Amino acid sequence: MDTFSLLEREWRGFAAHVLQAGARTAIDVGCGRGALSGALALHGRLQTIGYDWSEAAVAVARGSLSHPLLSFETHDFGMPVRPTGVQPGAVDIVCCRFVLQYLDLPAFIANARCLLRPGTGTVYVLTQVREEMAKHARGGEGLPRAVIAELRGAWPAAPVWPLTRRGEVVAVALGDPRRAGS
């Protein structure tokens, strides 16, 4: 594990499938205490804003992580309002780690596409797979396989990689559909 407690396997996959030459900005949706946000700023050298609906989580993140490329803001992505601090078409990477299952999927994806930089943007999703979680007596958390497949099918580039041996947790990199054919 690295400084911010990210699984080494997650970061390697993220670096291979999501980080691109020229990427400068990222947002972390549902950042919680800010582990991924911190890694994006420190290791990815990305100007990063971590957003969480919980003011308490944002306060913890602000109090425990400090970096010139890093900031934290309160925002509820369950609402139809865009977050402050970012302009449409200005974000290279939108991260959604273990929170997509709690959001209105079509609304979130539409908002993420609007925020992505045309031709280069990527949405990074880390999620539990509901069927695999249920198989291993860990409850029915996460997204169903069919939803993950449908989500991937809407993007021209959408590699997926497992982060656990049994496939209970997977990462998906959704490439910007505007770069199809480029």
Query: Is 24 a member of any domain?
Result: yes
Domain that holds residue 59: 8-179
The answer as to whether 27 is a domain residue is yes
> Is the pLDDT at 3 greater than 50, yes or no?
no
Number of domains making up the chain = 1
Q: Is residue 153 part of a domain?
A: yes
**In which band, very low, low, confident or very high, does the pLDDT at 182 lie, cut at 50, 70 and 90?**
very low
Distance CA 135, CA 90 (A): 40
Query: What pLDDT is recorded for position 95?
Result: 97
pTM as predicted: 0.90
Q: 1 lies in a domain?
A: no
Record the tokens describing residue 139, joined without a space. 């409850």
Name which residue leads in pLDDT, 70 or 121: 70
The CB density around residue 21, as the number of other CB atoms within 10 Å, is 5
**Residue-wise pLDDT tens digits, 96-121:** 999 999 999 998 998 999 999 988 89
CATH number at residue 54: 3.40.50.150
Q: Is the pLDDT of residue 180 over 50?
A: no
The reported pLDDT for the residue numbered 176 is 62
Q: Reduce the DSSP state of residue 77 to 3 states and report it.
A: coil
Summarised one tens digit per residue, pLDDT across range 119-176 is: 889 999 999 998 888 887 666 688 999 999 999 988 888 999 988 888 889 999 998 6
Confidence of residue 1 (pLDDT cuts 50, 70, 90): very low
Does residue 168 lie in a domain region? Answer: yes
